[in-house]
Amino acid sequence: MAEETENPPTAPTARQLASAREFVAKHGKPSRAVVENIGLAGARVVLVGQDGAMGDVLVAGVETGNALVEQVDDLEAAEWDSETVKTVKIGAAHRRKMAGPRAGR
């Protein structure tokens, strides 16, 4: 018996596209997108706005993430290079959230 493998869909959903478009509209044009493989869960498209805000969209895989970036106007593919990192502005509230329970120490 042949083993069947499922290929994740490569087209982003309407909801994923709407989320990315809304981010770009709210946080400035052009915005950047870094597609990161997160294993079996798929891929994370990290969005970085012109105002330094960060957001993300989870998709089925890296191919889907790349397709999402291509389909959203004013969203540019990026890497975690110095220019992208310098754009990000992380506030104190986000830093505390990231620290979790150790923040109170």
User: pLDDT tens across 46-59, in order?
Assistant: 999 999 999 999 99
Q: How far is the C-alpha of 36 from the C-alpha of 79, rounded, in Å? A: 9
Burial degree of 14 (CB within 10 A; 0-12, 13-18, 19+) = exposed
What is the number of alpha carbons within 13 Å of residue 88 lying toward its C-beta?
A: 18
Q: How confident is the model at residue 7 (pLDDT cuts 50, 70, 90)?
A: low
Token pair in block for residue 90: 């992380």
Q: What is the pLDDT of residue 6?
A: 54
Q: What is the pLDDT of residues 68-85, one digit of tens each?
A: 999 999 999 999 999 999
- The length of the chain is 105
* SS3 state at 93: helix
Q: What is the pTM of this model?
A: 0.82
* Torsions phi, psi for 63 (to 5 deg): -60, -40
